[in-house]
A and B are shown apart, each in its own frame.
Chain A
Amino acid sequence: AQKVTQAQTEISVVEKEDVTLDCVYETRDTTYYLFWYKQPPSGELVFLIRRNSFDEQNEISGRYSWNFQKSTSSFNFTITASQVVDSAVYFCALHRGSDYKLSFGAGTTVTVRA
Chain B
Amino acid sequence: DVKVTQSSRYLVKRTGEKVFLECVQDMDHENMFWYRQDPGLGLRLIYFSYDVKMKEKGDIPEGYSVSREKKERFSLILESASTNQTSMYLCASSSPGVLAKNIQYFGAGTRLSVL
Contact = CB atoms under 8 A, between A and B. Distances in A.
Interface of A: 4, 6, 9, 33, 35, 37, 42-47, 50, 91, 95, 100-102, 104-107
A104 to B, nearest CB: 4
Please classify the interface of chain B as helix (H, G, I), strand (E, B), loop, or mixed, using the class held by over half of its residues: strand
Given A101-B45, A101-B48, A44 B40 contact: no
8 contacts: A9-B40, A43-B108, A45-B92, A100-B56, A101-B48, A102-B45, A104-B44, A106-B42
Contacts of B106: 37, 44-46
Contacts of B50: 100
Interface of B: 9, 31, 33, 35, 40-45, 48, 50, 56, 58, 88, 90, 92, 94, 96, 101-109, 111
Given A9-B40, A45-B90, A102 B101 contact: no
Given A33-B102, A44-B107, A50-B101, A100 B43 contact: no
Given A42-B108, A44-B106, A50-B101, A100 B42 contact: no
A102 B104 contact: yes
A35 B105 CA distance: 12
Given A43-B9, A100-B94, A101-B58, 12 more contacts: A33-B101, A44-B108, A45-B90, A46-B106, A91-B42, A95-B102, A100-B50, A100-B96, A101-B48, A102-B45, A104-B42, A106-B41
B99 to A, nearest CB: 12
A104 B107 contact: no
Contacts of B58: 101
Contact of B40 (A35, A42, A91, A106): A106
